[in-house]
Amino acid sequence: MSLGAVALERNKERVDEIIQDDRRVTVDAIAGTLGIGHNAVQEMIESLGHRKVCARWVPRLLTEDHKGQRKAITSERLQRYRHEGDDFLLHIVTGDESWFHYFKPETKRQNVECHHLHSPSKKKAKTVPSAAKVMGTIFWDAEGLILAKFLEPGQTITAARYVQTLHKLRFALRDKHPGRNIIIVHDNACPHTAHLTSEAIAKMGWEVLPHPSYSPDLAPSDYHLFGFVKDQLRGHHYKESTEAIQKAVRQCLRMAGTEFYRRGIFKLPERWEKCVERCGNYVEK
């Protein structure tokens, strides 16, 4: 082996040692330490199989107890689905609350345009979401939207207000699904699990599926609905008008189509199975 090849291998070993010691080290820092060029270091890093990876944000770092609870609950749901089939999913009504901003800027991907090679680059001022926002509670099932209710500015979700919304949901379900057994899927937010809420749901004769703590990846509104609606609203200004943002959200929900809602509910078995396979860890997209 030539002296040049020996030096190259030694430098690769040093690059690997530096990266192992500090996973956040930059290419420029390595080049400065070893006294070699930026491009040479980049090539060594690629040949060693290293690459920069961003940490994935999760709602919470799950404990073993959390993982055990998630695995147990999703295992029970999978067994029931295998026994009852799609009929189980068709009885599910799911709902949750979320904030909707009067203005939310477009993502960088939404700003992408096709330009000629010699066209001047486009510039756009950095913007942030509007401070003004409205809280909405959305209920839906595999067939579509059932109910969308919004709080007045300054109000917050309480058990009493949630129960009022559930009564409105009951009337809406009477018209849409008369006589159908209802299975409610909502998360463990305090208004959802309060004694007042549990008592009201029991009187309505509905079943509530247990939901594991810190698990938006298993809640259809979180993993399927809210992101879609907010993407449709991005880049539009609703001029600090409660009526305008509520109308826009309802329009998005109505235009989504039956197949969109069905797909969101019918993703549940796949997510339950992945959660079991991952021993209770979060389900990735």
pTM for the full predicted model: 0.74
Task: Check if the beta carbon of residue 282 is closer than 8 Å to that of residue 62.
Answer: yes
Residue with tokens 């756009």: 124
Our CA dihedral for 42, 43, 47, 53, rounded to 10 degrees, sits at 30
Q: Which of 238, 239, 240, 256 is nearest to 248 (CA)?
A: 238
Relative to beta strand 144-150, strand 207-208 is: unpaired
Tens-digit pLDDT profile for the chain (285 aa)? 576 676 778 888 888 888 877 777 888 888 888 888 888 888 888 888 776 544 455 667 899 999 999 999 999 999 999 999 999 999 999 999 999 988 665 444 444 444 444 455 554 444 444 568 889 999 999 999 999 999 988 888 999 999 999 999 999 999 899 999 999 999 999 999 999 999 999 999 999 999 999 999 999 999 999 999 999 988 777 776 788 899 999 999 999 999 999 999 999 999 999 999 999 999 986
| Domains of the chain, first to last | 3-47 (1.10.10), 64-277 (3.30.420.10)
CB atoms within 10 A of CB 1: 7
How many Å from the N-terminal Cα to the C-terminal Cα in the chain? 47
Which pLDDT belongs to residue 155? 87
Angle at 263 between CA 248 and CA 267, to 5 degrees: 120
Q: For residue 182, what are the contacts with CB-CB under 8 A and spacing of at least 6?
A: 91, 93, 173, 204, 205, 206, 207
DSSP 224-268: IIHHHHHHHHTT---TT-HHHHHHHHHHHHHHT-HHHHHHHHHTH
